[in-house]
Amino acid sequence: MRADLAASYGEERLPRYTSYPTAPHFSPEIGAGAYARWLAELPAAASASLYLHVPFCREMCWYCGCHTQIVRRDGLIAAYLRTLRSEIAHVSETIGRRIKVEHIHFGGGTPTIMAPEAFAELMAAMRQSFFVLPSAEIAVEIDPRTLTSDMVEAMRLSGVNRASLGVQSFDPVVQRAINRVQSFEQTASVVDMLQHAGIKGINFDLIYGLPHQTVASCLDTVRRSLELGPDRFSVFGYAHVPAFKKHQRMINEAVLPDGLARHDQACAIANALKEAGYVQIGLDHFARPGDSMAVAFEQRTLRRNFQGYTTDQGEVLLGFGASAIGHLPQGYVQNEVQIGAYAQSIAAGHLATAKGYGLTDDDRLRADIIERIMCEFSADLGDICARHGAEAGAMLKSASRLKPLISDGVVRLDGDRIAVAKDSRFLVRSVAAAFDAHLDPAKQLHSRAV
């Protein structure tokens, strides 16, 4: 990375743009009443994706940025799942029909912390309330340290066909520094169990920028991961925000890599995966050629949502559980973050919406531009603006943050088409931010741009 670019952009705190506007701009003005209206207004032909948040873990990983809590008693998990099933039924009743479902994603926390029979009951509840298509992708996030063979069998019987394994790093020094000791053998055993159960879609999550991490340790983690042959990799930069995530204070900031070191680690991982035959997709995903995500990238149909890059083409994402976020044509909604408040709302017969955001025409235009930049590293402003009844020239004029990016060679402008230079793609979030009308650089709410 050029030193001047590192100095100019590397320390900026910017969104990952899994939505636009981003979650910090959600407001309590959008509550349960608005969500109920939006659900009832969904077109008859609409299909949906479902996200289910399970906010429990057995122990805290100090790098974690998710909404989760440590739980020892399984009774708390069982009570939460009863609430989750009630919410599923309530949302379906509000829609007024069994809407078609094409994607289901279990996130956390650790979704596989629940009992196998509870997982089967939850899947049955979803199939009762929604028309889950036979071709639906059903994905579960997994902590390889705690997965059991009984849970794998429950997943198989419930139709799960994709699993996302948290790996982060195989370096024992790094693992101890983040309170997540996970052996290669544990991970390999879980991959073997999943594949023998017919769950063939395997994702690995890796992180760079962790304490004590080096280029050499990153490359060793990639080498060992490749031995297990996952279909996809997600490679994220660690976001150190101890002001918002108190447990991150357990990480010694003095041993965190700086911006240049993070960039070197990210590039080393990307180059190693590409040399192994994986297709680089957007900012931080990699997939085998022929994988549905690689195909979507090549055909320019790739999308971006709260799970990152996706093949999901739907405009309706229904979020269930504490802190879960949903996306409808009218805007975004987020449930109560605290489990107690979430459970009280559902028990009272209400939707648990705590805040949200109603989209304007300008938001939809900018969201389309930002999504194309994040997915393709380019955007045809003339085409996108025309579809929204806007002028590309006016949009370019409003993007004042774009001018220095063009001057620095990060962005090329050809008529109304912008493209991120190949050697500057690590700054794609900075380019997307040029079209963010809500961005407040003074608020350090996000991770570093590099």
- pTM given for the model: 0.94
pLDDT at 12: 82
- Asked if 323 contacts 55 with a C-beta cutoff of 8 angstroms, the reply is yes
- Asked if 354 contacts 336 with a C-beta cutoff of 8 angstroms, the reply is yes
In 3D space, the residue among 282, 267, 196 whose CA is nearest the CA of residue 232 turns out to be 282
How is the chain split among helix, strand and coil, in percent rounded to 5? 40, 20, 35
Taken in order of first residue, the domains within the chain and their CATH numbers are 3-325 (3.80.30.20), 361-448 (1.10.10.920)
Residue ranges, the chain, pLDDT below 50: none
Give all strands of the β-sheet with 201-208 in edge-to-edge order: 279-281, 285-287, 232-237, 201-208, 162-168, 131-142, 100-108, 47-54, 317-320, 325-328, 331-335, 353-358
pLDDT at 5: 81
What backbone phi and psi angles, to 5 degrees, belong to 133? -65, 145
pLDDT at 30: 98
Distance of alpha carbon 171 from alpha carbon 182, whole angstroms? 9
| Residues 34-50 pLDDT 10s | 999 999 999 999 999 99
| Residues 266-280 pLDDT 10s | 999 999 999 999 999
Distance of alpha carbon 91 from alpha carbon 318, whole angstroms? 9
Angle at 62 between CA 59 and CA 68, to 5 degrees: 55
